[in-house]
Each structure stands twice: as C-alpha cells, then as structure tokens.
Amino acid sequence: MSARSRAFAGVLPFARRELRSAFESPVAYVAIGLFVLVLPALFFFLGYPVGRTPLPGLWEGGQASLIVLFHWLPLLLALVVPALSMGAWAEERRAGTEELLLTYPVRTGAVVLGKFLATWTLTMLMVSLAVLSAAVTVGFLGDLDWNTVIAGLIGAAWLCAGYASVALFLSAVSSEQLVAFLLGALALGLLWALPLLVRVLPGGAAGALEAASPTTHFLGSAARGVLDLSDLVYFVLLTALGLVANTLAVERRRWR
Amino acid sequence: MEMKPRTPAPLAHPGRRVLRFNAALTLGLLLLIAVLGNVLASRHLGQRVDLSADQLNAISDATRRVVDRVEDRLTVRLFANQEVEDGRLALRGARIRAQLEEILGLRPEIFDFQVLDPSRSSEARRQARESRLQPQRAGRGGLGQGGEEEVWLGLVLGYRGRTEVISTPEPWRFEVQVASAMHALLSDRKIGIGWIGEPFEVAPDSENAALERWESTFSVIRGALSRRARIAQLPGLATGNPVPDDVDVIFMVRPGALHEREVYAIDQFVQRGGRLVVCLDDPDYNLAYPRADVAPEDFQGSPLAELLGSWGIQVAAKHVWDDAWKTDRITLTAVGGQLRQGVISDPLVITVPPEGLATDLPPTRGLPGVAFAWAHPLFPEELAPTPPGVQRTDLAWSSEGAYLTDVAPRLTTDPRELRSLRAALRNGRAGRRTLAAVFNGLFPSPWAGKEAPAPLDPLGLGRAEDEPAPLSAVNTSQVVVFGDADWLRDPRPDGTFVQAGGGVLAVNLVDWLTLDEDLIGLRSRAPRLRPLRDFVAEEEEALGLFEEDVYPTEAERIEASRKGDLARRRARRQQWLTMLAPALSALVIVALFGALWNGLARRRAEPAGESGGERS
C-alpha cells in the first residue's frame, strides 16, 4: 500500500457510512423533496427579485433559460447545506460516537474527507434533481440550451463543495446541531451577500469583496455556460481551506 | 566520581496553547495562500471554455479576424481612474480592462497599450478632453463619505494617423465596440450607398394625417446605415448621369415608375460590379399604405421589370398568406365616428423565424426573425430560370403551408373576412414561397450590342456624342431581391416591424455585399431569443379563436368569451402539468430509491438479528 493510499484509507468507508445513515433517516428525503419543489417554484413564479436588476420568473420572462434558477442556487444552498451538514460532527458529539470515531486507526483528514464527500454527494444529488426537473420542463416549453445546463451543474458542484467544506467546519466547532446550522447559514449567507455590498463600499474593497464571494464566481461564469479556470481555483482553495480548518478543529479535540 | 545514568526527557504532550497557536498559524497561512492563489488565478489564469450555444462569453472569430488584419502598430489609450471610490463603477472599469487585456492578448506585439488617469494628470485630462471624452460624476463610495468624484472611462484607438473613440464602454458589448472601432480604423474609406425609390421621409398628408403618422419613413434604417456608410439619393440618373463611382451598393426601395434611362444606369452599375438590393413592393399593391395616387404605373411591364426579368428575377403580383408564421398586430377601425382598437393575427404580415432564413448565408445567419408585410413571392426558378452564369440562392421563405392571395381592394381587418378568405384559399395549393433571393454572377445587359436608351432631355441639350457602349456581363456582381419593402420600415405603433431583424438584415446585407463579413460576425453575437410555447395561443387556435373580432354579434361575443375562458383553463392545466410532471417524477424516483434502500437495509439487518438471537 503506497503512502498516498494509506493517507486516504478510510475515506470511502466513512463516506459510505455517512451516506447510509443519511438515507436511512427521513431528513435527507424531506430536504431533497423540499428543494426539488421550492427551487423550481421560485424559478417559475417569483423570478429573482434581488439586486439591482431583478430577473422575471419563467412565465413572465417567456424565455427558455435556467439563468433565474441558477441565481437562486447560492442563496438556497446557503440555507440547505448547513442543514444537511449540521449533524455531521455535532450529532457525533451528542451521541458520544465522536470519541470512538477518533480512536479508529485512520487519519483525521480521512474522516473529514469522508464526511465531506458524503455531504457533497447528497447536496449534488439534491441540486441535480431540482435543476434537471426544471430543465426538462423548460426543454419541453422551448429551445433550452442544454450545454448551459451542464455547465451550470458543473459550477454548482464546485459551489456545493465550497459550501459543504465551510459548513462542515462550522459543525465541527459547534457543540449543538442548531448552533452549527445557524453558524453555517450565517457564514454562507454572508459570503452570498458580499456582492450586494459593492455599491456602498469604496472601489478597492468592492473589488476584493466581489472576488471573495462564491456567488460572483458561480453566477459570473458557470451559470452562463462558461467554465473558468480561475473560478475552479477559487472553489478548490475555498474547499481546501474549509477541510483543513475542519481537520484542525477535530485534531484539537483529539489532543484534549 | 560516580556516573549517573542519563534519563531521557519524557515525551511531552503538546500544550493546548501550542496546539492553538499551531492551528491558528496553519489556518492563517492557508488563508493567505488561498487569497494569493485567488488573486494570481484571477490575474493570470484566463483559460475558460464557453459551453453555451450562443458563445457570447468567448472572443469571437470575427474579432480575431479583425485583429489579424492589423498590419502596423495600433495605439490603445485607456483613460481611467486608478482609484474609484464608487464600487459599482470601479467594478465596471475592472471588467472593461480585463476584457481589453484579453483582446490585446490576441496579438500583444501589435498593440501599444497605455493607461492614463485624467483625475491625476493634467496632460491626460487634456488628451481626454481633446478626444471628447467626458467623466461620469458619481457619489463618493465608502461609508460616511460625501461629495462627488469624476470617474473617467473611455478608450481612444489610433492607427496610421486616424483615431476612433469609444466614449462609453459597456462591459456587456465591449468586444463588439472595440472590434468595430478597429474595423473602422482598418477601412480605407466609408462605404457608399445609393438610395432609389421611396423617399427617406414621407411628408404628412393633410387629408390623411392620422394615417400618415402611422406610416413609415425609413429614418431608422437610414440611421443604422449611415453609421456604417455614406447614404444619399441618386438624382439625375434619368437625365443621363451614371451612378457615381463611390457608390458601392444601391438600395431600391419600393421603386415606382422608373425612366428607362434610370434603369439603364442601374444596369450599368451592376455591370461595373456594383451591388444591388431591390425591395419590390408595388405601391399599387401595398395595402398598408395605398399610394396609387403617387405611383399609378404598375410595376409589371415596366423597364425595371424587364431588366430584372432578363436576369431571371420575377415577382408575382399576388400576396403571400401564411397562417403558420402570421403576426399579431393592432388594428384601428372607425366605428360610429370613433376609432376602435382590436388585435388580429394577420397572415399577410409574416414574421419569418430562423427556419425560414438561409443559415448558410452571412446576412441571415443568427437573425431571430424578419417581419414581412403583404409580401410578393419570387417566381420559382423552374418558372423564371436564371441566365447562364447567374446563380440563385433563396434567402428567406414562407412556411410550407403558405397560400397566394389576390390583391384585395382594401386592407382586410375584419376577422370574418379573414376567415372566409382563408377558407377559400384552402382550396388552392399550399407551399413554400420565396420572399427573397440572392442572384450572383455575370449579369447580361438587355442593352448589350444596342444603343443606350435616350436620357430625359427637358432642356433640349441633345445627347452626348462620346457616350460609351453599354457593358454586359463584364464583372461579377450580386443582386438581392425582396418581394417586399416593409421589412425595412420604421417600427409602427400597431406592433408590426418592431423586431430588430429587418434593420440588422439590411446592415448585414451592406456588409456582406461590400465584403465586410467580419462585422456580420460581430453583430450576430446577440443572445438568441428562445420563446416559450404559448399554451393559451395553442388552445385558442385549437378552439377556432382565430383572432379578436372587431364586429362581433352578441352571440358571437358570448361564444368567444366562453371559448377564451376554456382556452385559458386548458392552458393553465397544461402549464401545471408541464411544471409538476418532472418534479413529481424526481420525487417518485427519490421515494422509490429510499424505499428500496431501506427495504434492503432491513432485509440485511433481519438475518443478522435472527442469527444474533440464536447465538444469544
């Protein structure tokens, strides 16, 4: 077994374990069900009334495009991802299984990565179902550009990875599930809202804030059908930062 | 001396403070790496793939071609503040600069790029003012700061002693702005367009003032063309003047009774290689604007008809009736001394979608649609063969279900009349009708081997003796013929001709005919319209609600209202079904997956439980 294989040993079993427990509880099904209904409903009827130029809903706009649906993703995921990941560490702690988990002969990083993979998979499953069901509707109604849908889903995968790593870190530093959810939603909500502050901030700060926001990196390119290498680098760095912070937070408790 | 054995120091558990410090240090370093990595990536990793069908987010081939044509150094001066307090304007400047650098990066060796800040340098301010750039005044950004700041953002391009200014760069169309400016710098001279036929402006008629206000001028298309070319009417052709040499394209728009000598001048222009666009719309047959008093002579049998006929171009007198591509428009009908407004779906006003336009020809490629009104079809090639050396390509056509209708004595706005007309037409043969075609090649002159027709000579000066012999089939040329002129008209308040298709098509034609295909490539980078299915219209069509009746009887009104309600109810049901079916399918899949997963998990758990029970 190579050093790299040893370092990542246990990632998949942990991911499987997390996914299994998620699919055995009703929470995941309720979350997926709500997301699959709410996201398209907002897209069909409400549009996106946020920001300087509100976007009309599907029926009002009359164009076969998913751009409005993609606009909702960063905000909705800022609420849903913390809900899915809040129990990842906080629940282990409450149930007293964290101690046991940390005594396994695997690296902490592998456990963190396993939990991350499970959350990411679950989130992407939810997003894919919601986006594809809306895309099928729009594709039936008009000439939908499916390439843009694919690019949007790839961008959504990057966005979900970044969000999941941040939310898991906040779950690791929280003692309660509710606190983990509130902290996660607050942090991701702030990241989402950064571009809204552009108008009230001076030029340099506005540029920095915009560059720091996952919303800009997602809506500026992938949601429009463009895959940009600099966006990928941003999301990889954001994900890595969250995962390392998560590992350090768990490690700290292991040494207590 | 007794030697004591050295005991090794005990392994120290790292203190909590050290752990915290290490964790904070690692996180801080990682955050720094993330920020730096992000900054470096945004500045130096420009690689991106545009997967969208419209390709609006990648540099177009047209822009690359324009940049490739630059031979000398091209100076690009960007006038912009180094620091802008208003966040929104700062971001706009950053986006403009990023796009500009991407374009300049195509061939960095040919560009001299300078960034000047007029807010800091008086010399830069002077240069900006000389180039007629103006700053934008913006409220100072930042919390708690007041006042205003001058925000400069403009571009001056210089090439071989000439300059082009982009005074208001817009991020959403900046590439087109820069490429158009470069293209203008590379062009030796402005294109010349000659205009024959319908005057630019129609003088208001006192008797028909209300109608006149509705009627067309060609000011919109003239404005669009004049940005690209010099455009002028061509006087004196009938008295023997030739078409001037600096005219590249002639637009003949609804030509009336042309003198034979005028037609000869046009023929000789084509023989010299000049390009011709003919928009035939016999005024006698133009029901939208009855001008029988203006042009009493029929087009059929005129010198122009004979010239075009000799090139295999014949336009039928009948109109194209197309139920598939009909257009909604507002009608005003005088009822009891008052104008009543109604809406009809007029099959004589056809909005030709992309499938009715030649996608392999640059002028029509990428157009969302073009509206034609009371169009005359071109004779098919079997009935009007082109002479040897001339090729014909259709440019625009009707749907397969179009009929030909006779010229009605007045504009039909009565839906019942439209219905009965349609019923009568269905006894005829439906088919695809050509609305416009391009003819390309060596055009034979009808005056070949003959003497040129005599010019008008009102002053009795006599004919010039040194008049050259008529040319025939000397240079290759192109003639584009439309069986309608309304597609060029200004938008009307009745909802017809509001599409940009006509204007863009005209400019595209000029660019294509003068070999400026690069600009066509730039213009077609507009997002394609992707309209949704109109369930209400489909249901109304299915229920026979063809159009709003402006003369309904009470019974008809009640029946129409009932059918309208039914159509809307059915449409709403269709909408809900379309929205819910995929989402519910997704939920069913998830539910089935969950049931299967948990069922299998339970089945796996049961034997384990039973065996556990036995063991216990």
Q: Does A53 touch chain B (CB under 8 A)?
A: no
Interface test with A, best of B50, B54, B97 (most A CBs within 10 A): B50
User: B557: pLDDT confidence band, cut at 50, 70 and 90?
Assistant: confident
> Which residues are within 8 A (CB) of B203 and not within 5 positions of it... i.e. 6 or more apart?
none
Q: Does B333 touch chain A (CB under 8 A)?
A: no
Helix (H) or strand (E) holding B371: strand B370-373
Contacts of B82 in chain A (CB under 8 A): none
Structure token pair of residue B205: 């008629």
Q: How far is B17 from chain A (nearest CA, A)?
A: 11
Looking at the fold, whether B249 and B143 belong to one and the same domain comes out as no
User: Would the CB atoms of B51 and A226 count as touching at under 8 Å?
Assistant: yes
User: Would the CB atoms of A255 and B531 count as touching at under 8 Å?
Assistant: no
Query: For residues B534 and B324, what is the distance between their CA atoms, to the nearest angstrom?
Result: 14
User: Would the CB atoms of B88 and A207 count as touching at under 8 Å?
Assistant: no
Report the CATH number that the domain containing residue B393 is assigned in CATH.
3.40.50.880
Looking at the fold, whether B259 and B338 belong to one and the same domain comes out as yes
Q: Which of A221, A26, A20 is nearest to A118 (CA)?
A: A20
Instruction: Write down the pLDDT at residue B311.
Output: 93
User: Would the CB atoms of A141 and B19 count as touching at under 8 Å?
Assistant: no
User: Would the CB atoms of A32 and B530 count as touching at under 8 Å?
Assistant: no
Indicate the number of domains in chain B.
3
Looking at the fold, whether B411 and B303 belong to one and the same domain comes out as yes
φ and ψ of A115, to 5 deg: -65, -40
pLDDT over 60 at B8, yes or no: no
Query: Which 126-165 residues of chain B touch chain A by CB within 8 A?
Result: 141-143, 145
What confidence tens digit (pLDDT) does each residue in B328-365 have? 777 766 666 677 777 777 888 888 988 899 988 888 87
Q: Count, in order, helices (H) and strands (E) of chain B.
A: 14, 19
Looking at the fold, whether B223 and B298 belong to one and the same domain comes out as yes
Contacts of B33 in chain A (CB under 8 A): 237
Calculate the alpha carbon distances from A231 to A104, A169, A228 in Å: 36, 22, 5
Q: How far is B144 from chain A (nearest CA, A)?
A: 10
Assign A213 to helix, strand or coil.
coil
Return mean pLDDT, chain B.
79
Angle at B70 (CA atoms; ends B69, B74), nearest 5 degrees:
160
What confidence tens digit (pLDDT) does each residue in B186-235 have? 877 778 999 887 665 444 444 444 444 444 567 778 777 877 788 888 88
Contacts of B91 in chain A (CB under 8 A): 198, 203, 206-207, 210
User: B313: pLDDT confidence band, cut at 50, 70 and 90?
Assistant: very high
Instruction: Write down the pLDDT at residue B535.
Output: 87
Q: How far is A2 from chain B (nearest CA, A)?
A: 26
Report the CATH number that the domain containing residue B145 is assigned in CATH.
3.40.30.10
Under 8 Å CB pairs connecting chains A and B tally to 198
For B23, which residue in chain A has the nearest alpha carbon? A248
Query: Which 82-111 residues of chain A touch chain B by CB within 8 A?
Result: none
Q: Are B505 and B367 in contact (CB under 8 A)?
A: yes
pLDDT over 70 at B15, yes or no: no
Q: Does B29 touch chain A (CB under 8 A)?
A: no
> Which residues are within 8 A (CB) of A9 and not within 5 positions of it... i.e. 6 or more apart?
A1, A106, A110
Please tell me the total number of residues recorded for chain B in this structure: 616
Q: Which of B493, B510, B529 is the last residue of a domain?
A: B529
Q: Does B582 touch chain A (CB under 8 A)?
A: yes
Looking at the fold, whether B514 and B549 belong to one and the same domain comes out as no
For A151, which residue in chain B has the nearest alpha carbon? B51
Interface test with A, best of B89, B150, B532, B596 (most A CBs within 10 A): B532
Looking at the fold, whether B361 and B399 belong to one and the same domain comes out as yes
Range of the domain at A67: 3-254
Instruction: Write down the pLDDT at residue B549.
Output: 58
Looking at the fold, whether B142 and B278 belong to one and the same domain comes out as no
Q: How far is B356 from chain A (nearest CA, A)?
A: 17
pLDDT over 80 at B605, yes or no: no
Residue with tokens 């590439």: B175
pLDDT over 50 at B11, yes or no: no
Q: What is the CA radius of gyration of chain A?
A: 19
Contacts of A58 in chain B (CB under 8 A): 532
B560 occurs within a structural domain: yes
Interface test with B, best of A127, A133, A154, A243 (most B CBs within 10 A): A133
Looking at the fold, whether B163 and B231 belong to one and the same domain comes out as no
User: Would the CB atoms of B578 and A251 count as touching at under 8 Å?
Assistant: no
Structure token pair of residue B57: 């987010």
Nearest by CB to A142, from B530, B587, B601: name it.
Answer: B530
> Which residues are within 8 A (CB) of B611 and not within 5 positions of it... i.e. 6 or more apart?
none
Range of the domain at B348: 191-457+468-529
Chain-centroid distance of CA A76 in Å reads: 9
For B53, which residue in chain A has the nearest alpha carbon? A145
What confidence tens digit (pLDDT) does each residue in A53-98 have? 778 888 888 888 898 999 999 999 999 999 988 887 877 777 777 7
User: Would the CB atoms of B142 and A201 count as touching at under 8 Å?
Assistant: yes
Assign B50 to helix, strand or coil.
strand
Instruction: Write down the pLDDT at residue A166.
Output: 93
Low-confidence ranges of chain A (pLDDT < 70): 1-9, 52, 199-204, 254-256
φ and ψ of B499, to 5 deg: -70, 145
Indicate the number of domains in chain A.
1
Instruction: Write down the pLDDT at residue B202.
Output: 47
Looking at the fold, whether B362 and B500 belong to one and the same domain comes out as yes
pLDDT over 60 at B498, yes or no: no
Which class for B444: exposed (0-12), middle (13-18), buried (19 or more C-beta within 10 A)? middle
- Residue type (1 letter), B321: W
Residue B427 burial (CB count, 10 A):
7
Interface test with B, best of A228, A234, A250 (most B CBs within 10 A): A228
Q: Does A124 touch chain B (CB under 8 A)?
A: no
Q: Does A2 touch chain B (CB under 8 A)?
A: no
B49 occurs within a structural domain: no
Looking at the fold, whether B213 and B360 belong to one and the same domain comes out as yes
Q: Which of B486, B508, B529 is the last residue of a domain?
A: B529
Looking at the fold, whether B195 and B136 belong to one and the same domain comes out as no
Contacts of A225 in chain B (CB under 8 A): 50-54, 57
Looking at the fold, whether B224 and B327 belong to one and the same domain comes out as yes
Q: Which of B387, B498, B494, B369 is nearest to B435 (CA)?
A: B369
Q: Which of B529, B562, B580 is the last residue of a domain?
A: B529
What confidence tens digit (pLDDT) does each residue in B410-451 have? 556 666 777 777 778 877 888 999 999 999 899 999 998 888
Contacts of A241 in chain B (CB under 8 A): 27, 30-31, 34
Residue B382 burial (CB count, 10 A):
6
Q: How do B191-197 and B111-116 pair as beta strands?
A: unpaired
* Minimum mean pLDDT range among A208-212, B112-116, B470-474, B527-531: B527-531
User: Would the CB atoms of B532 and A228 count as touching at under 8 Å?
Assistant: no
Instruction: Write down the pLDDT at residue B43.
Output: 72
pLDDT over 60 at B409, yes or no: no
Instruction: Write down the pLDDT at residue A254.
Output: 66
Instruction: Write down the pLDDT at residue B138.
Output: 75
Instruction: Write down the pLDDT at residue B116.
Output: 92
Q: Which pairs from B21-29 meet CB under 8 Å and 24+ separation?
A: B23/A248, B23/A249, B23/A251, B23/A252, B26/A244, B26/A248, B27/A241, B27/A244, B27/A245, B27/A248
* ipTM score for this prediction: 0.82
Instruction: Write down the pLDDT at residue B76.
Output: 94
User: Would the CB atoms of A44 and B141 count as touching at under 8 Å?
Assistant: no
